Structure 1
Amino acid sequence: MSKKTIQLYRQPAGGWGALKSVAQQILEQGNPLKGARTLLSANQPDGFDCPGCAWPDADHTSTFEFCENGAKAVAAESTASRATPDLFSKYTVSELLRQSDHWLEAQGRLTHPMQYDRASDRYLPVSWELVFQLIALHLNALVTPDDAIFYTSGRTSNEAAFLYQLFVREFGTNNFPDCSNMCHEPSGVAMKAAIGVGKGTVQLSDFQEADAILIFGQNPGTNHPRMLGELRAAAKRGAAIVSFNPLRERGLEKFQNPQDMREMLSGAATEISSDYLQLKIGGDLAAVKGIIKYVLESDLLAQQAGRERLIDVSFIREHTANFEAFSADVLNEPWERIEQESGLQRLQLGRVAQTYLQAKNVIACWGMGITQHKQSVATIQMILNLLLLRGHIGRPGAGPCPVRGHSNVQGDRTMGINEKPSPAFLQRLGRVFQFKPPQQPGLGTVDAIRAMLDMPGKVFFAMGGNFATATPDTALTHRALQNCGLTVHVATKLNRSHLICGREALILPCLGRTEIDVQATGPQAVTVEDSMSMVHLSSGINPPASPELLSEPMIVARLAQATLQQRSQTDWLGLVADYDRIRDKIAAVFEDFSDFNQRVKIPGGFRLRNTAAEREWQTASGKANFFAHAIPADLPIHRARQQNAAPVFNLATIRSHDQYNTTIYGLNDRYRGVFGERRVLFMHADDIAMLSMQAGDWVDLQSLSDDGVERKACRFMLVAYQIPRGCLAAYFPETNGLVPLSSVADHADTPTSKSIPVIIFPHQDAGQDT
């Protein structure tokens, strides 16, 4: 359905709609036989890891272990379309910039390295030899290595990420902004302080033993569709599933498994959430604190009546610190503030608390609806507090589960893509490779943008991703990139970042996850780490889209060789001749990867050790820490409402069902009933009426921030939707420009893209497309 339509979606998530979407995507990519064959190798022991999300594989030998959005990612990479030099000779960069993100994606696979020619405003073909010479020339001409910025996408393999961080540190900087800075950075910060590990403690098998699963700020039906299989199985065996989300999301309501023919033919579906709480945007901290308050008050009543305690006193005594101060803070929190800031009633929170108390094993999951707020670290620590109360960490069927996005974003961090590396890691890296790594912390994403704005002439190198579109404050980010002396992007397909050029610019085409990677010793496999710390092999099956493509490890190796020359003792080309050699070096640096090459060849791979899952707390106190946090009453949304007479709304940016991160596969958002349009604004019907408007009207948005800068996003169609009053939702990247660069999560610097104060105006010219 390409016509612009708003139509309530009454079917369950998954089902025939998902199968139809997969088939349509394969057909649209122009090579249906190849697309279908490629899908059959997704997530197989001798195949490739899906380039979509980081949700683990339930069975690494299942023929159909892929989902709708994974199929879109695979089909898009296997497309018959090619973005050849002819495309760049036909269009200037200025003309390409006027195209939509969907159009850019549809041009297909990049085939040749390209160099920007400012005189003609076009990209021209260039040889790989000249590419590496040019980058090396720019890097070595910098006043200091810290004038170079090296961005990393979460789809980069372990082998490429390890070589990349090694090259950059041998070059002399820790400037490693990456996509974690924009999504789950608060999860790592919060969890390391509380339980000593920045990763989730659960395994996929734990979902089979959980009695209650709490889901905060996540939409698995679109962002992690394979997770719905685990939730469906849990719901069928009677586990309670409680969802906290401002929007009604179809995947959290009802699911029909496309791989269950009996369910498909009968029209049956599984109810997913046993309880669904539509709290205010950003109200999760108050909601979880309210649940804890109910539990603690109930425990006090139990003590007074001489009944069994409701909290795990022995676990708290043996394994935790700071409980008394934390408990006092929670008990002193007024219910009125909890209700006001959460948007939920005490009765609703008490109902969830009862579900929690009745469960033997509890898992808490969260996504970017939690991490992209000013109070995100505090919110995650409050979720951890809830789990610690009854010992729900370090035993089967229970634990925290941050659900990450990109397929190897967690692995990249494990490999050392981190602007704040630990001294122990740097010491070991230096010893193995015989050099002295830089000790000074580097720049994360937001600080990198600020540095590029303030100090022109830097070199910006991106290993994948779509930096200009994924980041906040779009106009400022574009200006920052244009300030650079050189911008370089390693990519499989064209995106908007490639068109925001520094004084000089390069596009370097690389192999995709689905393609055969042949090096000097033969075909190679890479490894990835999923959200639950499972590490496994990935081997492409398709011929490369162009003979000009290089693998990411080879690009890094040749760049390192050209840049470092005699300064490095690393045999760069020797390492990429056989990726087993890279894995041997990884094993030498990281103890958890001992016998890497042997262990990873077992079908399904192996799981990295998680000390918190073993109740070994690698924190400053030596125990798991309770953290007391006040419910914030002075957030940007509070100040904006106090300072403006006009109605101020809280906007959250979200994905549509036809996109993955910034990659736009199509113009439909099936589960939310939006077809053929992306510039929509989801709003409560009563709020639309309050503004004397109607659904279907076109409006402009202006964000309100403390820096006084006017930021607008124009021409959005109002869509009446089930969302709390005062709250709005719209797609990114269309609304990223409304997020101030200065508005970040406390202690984590993640942009606050899920909490943007805005005011709404009627669009000045409803017939004008923007």
Structure 2
Amino acid sequence: MSEDQPAERNVEGIGDYNGPAGGWGALKAVARTVAEQMKASPDTRALLQMNQPDGFDCPGCAWPDPKHTSSFEFCENGAKAVTWEATVKRVDPGFFAQHTATELWGWSDHQLEDAGRLTEPLRYDPETDHYIPITWDEAFARAGAALQALDHADQAEFYCSGRASNEAAFLYQLFAREFGTNNFPDCSNMCHEATSTGLPKSIGIGKGTVTLEDFDTTDAIFCIGHNPGTNHPRMLGTLAEASKRGVPIIVANPMRERGLERFKSPQHPTEMLSTHSTPLASAYHQVRIGGDMAMLKGMMKALFAMEEAEGGILDHTFIAEHTEGIDALRADIETTSWTWIEGQSRLTREAIESMAAVYAGAERVIVCYGMGITQHSHGTQNVQAIANLLLLRGNFGKAGAGICPLRGHSNVQGDRTVGITELPPEDMLDRLDAAFGIASPRKHGHNAVEALLAMHEGKSKALVSLGGNLAVAMPDPEACFAAVRGLDLSVNILTKFNRTCLLTAKETLVLPCLGRTELDVQATGPQWVTVEDSMSMVHASRGKLKPPGAQVRSEPAIVAGLAAAAMPLTKVDWAALVANYDRIRDGIEAVYPDFHDFNLRVREPGGFRLTIAPDKRVWKTPSGKAQFFAHPHVEESMEGQPLLLTTIRSHDQYNTTIYSLDDRYRGVTGRRDVIFANEVDLAMLGLTHGDRVDVTTPTGRMLKGFTVIRHAIARGSLAAYYPEANCLVPLDDFDPASGTPAYKSIPVRVDAAV
């Protein structure tokens, strides 16, 4: 810095992080959170049971377990998820006698959940403004009466979090369908619905096609729009092993994330004791927010040009035998100009051609992607563009190749598999009706956005939430909060108290449930549940810790109690199903043929993999072939276009759960009121690092008084934390194909704070 340049402002809580992902920082963070949440509890041994064949599945991300697990098979954020759940802190009746609902509303989201585990059923008493303990019989009776009082079943919304087990989710969908509705807003609607919508049309299934073993034989890995260091840290070990084999790892992401750059494995003592860390990305391309489609089209344009010049680039045999639509795709790509591609992506032609060259030179390619691809108004198109790219060289149905959507919640994929969907297939409903003697509704239900809109408009009167923090997770909190407050009934099945519980309806119930780590004893003895990871492996999860209180019940037991109370003439023997979870699994097997011999196969160590037809180059599309999709665009100049803001999670966060106010890898400590910006954009706006700013959307939505900080982010791009920045997203800004809210591409203006 020259003498005439001012020193950069020292901004409180903002610094640099120069270490690798993982390493001693991860171990220190685990030790700190164990000390804070579990203190001297002997239950800290639970960490050694996580992701083991006879233990419990991590309640964090859905990254699969290796076939040969180690004695230390968890990551920093998985440890945080477990200690957050297995905490010794309690919110018992004494806590709620001490604090009114009005007082609790003033607490931060972190403070609310950090207070501890729920121990007894509660209802809100408007006369005293307190949550008061009630019996389970009273809780079920009140919920049942309110559900029976609805004018019709479609006035009820049944929300499901992706942490629910297969058994709980299956009972939940059975309950709602016998009750008479397919209203299933769930967390898939907010994250990977674009995958569930786009991939079935492209390749015949809405799931990834790779296994963990495919990473051992792949020739190239592309990571687009995701941050493994924070959101799925166990993936870092897989990427590190590929890097050591010399596999190129090509990253396209607006922000430079340490978890995509280098990694020091806490499981490798020699690496921990050295100064060495494993480099991950062999090339890192900072694509502009919303520019992924342009980048992918650029890669395909380069591939078509290479094919014309050299030949042997495209897999013509595969394309002819297994696909349709190549001519329309080629025509669209030919009319796409490099000027538009470079302008939209903010990547040079040379950079994109280098990505295409790596792709073309690899026999087996895996493309991984996250919500940086899906949470846009064109998220489904993004997903299908990735499928297009893989189809061009036959990267389906062979070892070491395929598509890898990176799911968040540990069983969000499993919940969808066993029926948590507002768009149920007819044959599934036929089998459900035959197995249980019910008459399921055929009318399609509400997704998350449609549910909140119906609640806001007074068309839906009841909300039952199996986990989660729906009103905080959704866009437009002002509208969502008002929608929940206007209900006749709000039922929250949770391990911990959160802000959605404080949105009091005419009848508000909070029902404490067991966590993944805890022993579940029913009439026939201890029970266990199953989950499905992001690579379609179904395996058992066995909790062993003592529950936080004698009144805490399992999710299946709570769902069954609610169902029996809401439907006095039910045809389902709910008590028998809950008495022995094998009976629930028998029901799943009866409805879903792919779960044949479910109870037998899932008792094998590691479980079993569900059928993924593209693995055998079988395409369950209407034509029986994989489909190329052309997505024409309007070529516009970048001049005068607004900045685009993306919402992001911090390193000490899991969805709406805030473990602390730190974001270690991005150098943020003790605060979340920041806007990340490119230093060139800051200069053009007449702003400097540390200025307080107001962020405004074209429709006037505002985020006021945040601090803008210089960060390694693509030009034209900004980032702010979720859910704080959800106020910038209206409920009607979503992908029309999938309903996924556009959290990742919000047009904004930034001004000095007034």
Give the whole-Å Cα distance in 2 for the aligned partners of 1:99 and 1:274: 44
- Confirm or deny that 1:675 pairs with 2:665: no
- Confirm or deny that 1:689 pairs with 2:678: no
- Confirm or deny that 1:734 pairs with 2:742: no
Give the whole-Å Cα distance in 1 for the aligned partners of 2:214 and 2:448: 34
The farther-off stretch of 462-471 and 59-68 is: 59-68
Per-residue deviation, residues 293-342 of structure 1 (Å, max 9, x unmatched): 0000110112xxxxx42110000000001111111211221111111111
Per-residue deviation, residues 360-409 of structure 1 (Å, max 9, x unmatched): 10000100001000111111111100100010011100000000000000
Deviation at 1:32, TM superposition (A): 4.0
CA RMSD of aligned residues (A): 1.4
Partner of 1:741, secondary structure, is coil
Matched AA of 2:31: A
1:242 counterpart residue number? 250
| Residues 9 and 673, structure 1, Cα contact 8 Å, conserved in 2 | yes
Matched AA of 1:628: A
Per-residue deviation, residues 503-553 of structure 1 (Å, max 9, x unmatched): 221100000000000000111000000000000001111100010101000
Give the whole-Å Cα distance in 2 for the aligned partners of 1:612 and 1:452: 39
The farther-off stretch of 622-631 and 398-407 is: 622-631
Residue from 717, 720, 743 that aligns with 2:733: 743
| Residues 43 and 60, structure 1, Cα contact 8 Å, conserved in 2 | no
Give the whole-Å Cα distance in 2 for the aligned partners of 1:749 and 1:74: 31
Residue from 363, 375, 383 that aligns with 2:378: 375
Matched AA of 1:21: A
Taking the TM superposition and a 5 Å limit, the aligned residue runs for 1:556-705 are 556-566=559-569, 568-631=570-633, 641=640, 648-705=642-699
| Residues 395 and 613, structure 1, Cα contact 8 Å, conserved in 2 | yes
Residue from 18, 41, 50 that aligns with 2:58: 50
Deviation at 1:758, TM superposition (A): 1.3
Give the whole-Å Cα distance in 2 for the aligned partners of 1:596 and 1:471: 35
2:233 counterpart residue number? 225
2:175 counterpart residue number? 167
Give the whole-Å Cα distance in 2 for the aligned partners of 1:32 and 1:287: 51
Mark the CA change 1:504 to 1:457 in structure 2 (over 3 Å): closer, same or farther: farther
| Residues 385 and 627, structure 1, Cα contact 8 Å, conserved in 2 | yes
Per-residue deviation, residues 255-312 of structure 1 (Å, max 9, x unmatched): 111101111111211110001000110100000110010000110112xxxxx42110
Percent of aligned pairs sharing the same letter: 52
Residue from 106, 117, 127 that aligns with 1:119: 127
Partner of 1:6, secondary structure, is coil
Using structure 1 for the length normalisation, give the TM-score: 0.95
2:456 counterpart residue number? 453
| Residues 457 and 486, structure 1, Cα contact 8 Å, conserved in 2 | no
Taking the TM superposition and a 5 Å limit, the aligned residue runs for 1:113-192 are 113-192=121-200
Give the whole-Å Cα distance in 2 for the aligned partners of 1:232 and 1:60: 17
Mark the CA change 1:415 to 1:373 in structure 2 (over 3 Å): closer, same or farther: same
Using structure 2 for the length normalisation, give the TM-score: 0.97
| Residues 155 and 459, structure 2, Cα contact 8 Å, conserved in 1 | no
| Residues 212 and 239, structure 1, Cα contact 8 Å, conserved in 2 | yes
| Residues 701 and 759, structure 1, Cα contact 8 Å, conserved in 2 | yes
Give the whole-Å Cα distance in 1 for the aligned partners of 2:527 and 2:514: 12
1:767 counterpart residue number? none
Give the whole-Å Cα distance in 1 for the aligned partners of 2:672 and 2:553: 34
1:362 counterpart residue number? 365
1:319 counterpart residue number? 322
Give the whole-Å Cα distance in 2 for the aligned partners of 1:579 and 1:724: 50
Give the whole-Å Cα distance in 2 for the aligned partners of 1:277 and 1:214: 11
Structure 1: gaps (5+ residues)? 303-307, 643-647, 765-770
Deviation at 1:60, TM superposition (A): 5.5
| Residues 681 and 715, structure 2, Cα contact 8 Å, conserved in 1 | yes
| Residues 49 and 513, structure 1, Cα contact 8 Å, conserved in 2 | yes
Residue from 289, 294, 305 that aligns with 1:281: 289
1:768 counterpart residue number? none
Mark the CA change 1:632 to 1:580 in structure 2 (over 3 Å): closer, same or farther: farther
The farther-off stretch of 715-724 and 594-603 is: 715-724
| Residues 375 and 744, structure 2, Cα contact 8 Å, conserved in 1 | yes
2:78 counterpart residue number? 70
Deviation at 1:36, TM superposition (A): 2.8
Matched AA of 1:199: K
Taking the TM superposition and a 5 Å limit, the aligned residue runs for 1:376-525 are 376-455=379-458, 458-525=461-528
Matched AA of 1:238: G
The farther-off stretch of 508-517 and 51-60 is: 51-60
| Residues 454 and 460, structure 2, Cα contact 8 Å, conserved in 1 | no
| Residues 132 and 558, structure 1, Cα contact 8 Å, conserved in 2 | yes
Matched AA of 1:658: D
| Residues 456 and 483, structure 1, Cα contact 8 Å, conserved in 2 | no
Give the whole-Å Cα distance in 1 for the aligned partners of 2:357 and 2:134: 65
Per-residue deviation, residues 213-267 of structure 1 (Å, max 9, x unmatched): 0111000000000000110000100101000000000010011111011111112
Partner of 1:541, secondary structure, is coil
Residue from 523, 528, 538 that aligns with 2:541: 538
| Residues 739 and 752, structure 1, Cα contact 8 Å, conserved in 2 | yes
Matched AA of 1:625: Q
Partner of 1:573, secondary structure, is helix
| Residues 297 and 331, structure 1, Cα contact 8 Å, conserved in 2 | no
